[in-house]
Amino acid sequence: MADEFRDQLRARFAEHHPGPPPKGREARLEWQRAWCATAVDHDLAGPSWPREYGGLDLSFEEQVVYAEEAARARVPGVPGTGVGIAGPTIIRHGTAAQKARLLRPMLRADVIWAQGYSEPEAGSDLPALRTTALRDGDHYVVNGQKVWSSSADIADILFSLVRTGGPDSGRDGITYLLIDAHAPGVTVRPLRDMTGDSGFCEIFLDGVEVPVENRIGEENRGWDITRTSLGHERAAGALTQARFYDRIVRELAVLARERGRADDPIVRQRLAHFAGAQRVMSLNAARMIATIVQEGEPGPGSSTSRLFNTLFEQQLHEFAVDLLGPVGVLDRRDPHAVERGRWTRGFLRTRASTIGAGTAEIQRNTIAERVLGLPHDA
Ligand SMILES: Cc1cc2nc3c(=O)[nH]c(=O)nc-3n(C[C@H](O)[C@H](O)[C@H](O)COP(=O)(O)OP(=O)(O)OC[C@H]3O[C@@H](n4cnc5c(N)ncnc54)[C@H](O)[C@@H]3O)c2cc1C
């Protein structure tokens, strides 16, 4: 049965495949969006999403096969951060009208979503957020600043946390709002990271009017909803990521051979370590999907997976750059860079992995307190 499903999926990915990515950021985004629309229209998108919103509603086993085949076909994912984080949150906490209005366009990438949670003084301590939303009839008026919002420069909707309670209301005064990124009063400024790209942005919100119908859940109950969001953020793409690293570990072994290091026992031992760790990644991801299928939420175990995966990708790229020796410092602009500097770029990019979606320290706290049952951090 699983084999038949795999064969069908493989054939359909091949039939509708968008071809190789074009060069240039804008062309690549259009290529990605066109694929997302095609995928929904041909029943190839949203493995865990309900069918009525464009998804496939697959069983656990089928989701595993889907992740393997999507990675094999090398089809792009959905741009922005909505599908893995806001999507599951709306499926669980949204009204019927919100689900009907928002989910399918999100999956088709007709509308791109970005997350606006973090603020200059509220990252790990997210309940300290200060962006305010004051109710005025049938809308809220939002004022404040968000930061590190991935893909906000291409987003149409910012799924955000805002303060509707008093300044000291903590977790009990937070509301989940969907802000139109093109509304008057919204300013989005890309921030450059150390790879030279602008993957995230700062956002200024100045008297932005947001209709009450864009609130997910009740007023001041946003924190409980966010727990769904954060769990899914840590779980999002774990299986796809595991499949992706299956390929990367093989490519790393090829690199070791090409650099004449494949007989070095230390290099061999490290490669074996990464191959084993990649298997652990897959199993962690499968365990998390099983929890989502059974309980509707990935639960605190998503922190275990997230911590493991982020440390894995950092260590893998550190090793790759070591393997390259002095040319490991050259980036894609240098003609002597190996494979157009991809390993160097991965090394720089993965520095941020143990910060985004909760830092490694915060994941360790969650694992200690909510998985292992150790006493709370004072
Ligand atoms: C690549 C990337 C993408 C991101 N994308 C988004 C996005 O799309 N949307 C969004 O809203 N945010 C996003 N973020 C922001 C991210 O969620 C925050 O950077 C993160 O939560 C940490 O917050 P902070 O930067 O304010 O650091 P801080 O919270 O100020 O932490 C500083 C240091 O103190 C440590 N620390 C803090 N509290 C504790 C504690 N209780 N115990 C132990 N150590 C602690 C931290 O681990 C860290 O080392 C992204 C970040 C990155 C790097």
Please tell me the predicted confidence (pLDDT) of residue 235.
67
Please tell me the predicted confidence (pLDDT) of residue 233.
62
What are φ and ψ of residue 145, in 5° steps? -140, 140
Q: Is 149 in the pocket of ligand 1 (CB under 6 A)?
A: yes
Residue position matching structure tokens 């006493």? 375
Atom 51, ligand 1: residue with shortest CA distance: 356
Please tell me the predicted confidence (pLDDT) of residue 355.
96
- CA 58 from centroid of its chain's CA atoms: 20
Please tell me the predicted confidence (pLDDT) of residue 335.
93
Separation of 288 CA from ligand 1 center, angstroms? 23
Is 233 marked active-site?
yes
pLDDT in tens, 289-335: 888 888 877 888 889 999 999 999 999 999 999 999 999 999 888 99
Please tell me the predicted confidence (pLDDT) of residue 236.
61
Residue numbers of the chain with a pLDDT score lower than 50: none
Q: Please identify, by atom number, the ligand 1 atom nearest to the C-alpha of residue 357.
A: 17
Mutate to test the pocket of ligand 1, among 307, 355, 363 (most ligand atoms within 8 A of CB): 355
Q: Please identify, by atom number, the ligand 1 atom nearest to the C-alpha of residue 358.
A: 21
- CA 183 from centroid of its chain's CA atoms: 25
Q: What is the pTM of this model?
A: 0.93
- CA 110 from centroid of its chain's CA atoms: 18
140: β partners:
135, 210
- CA 295 from centroid of its chain's CA atoms: 21
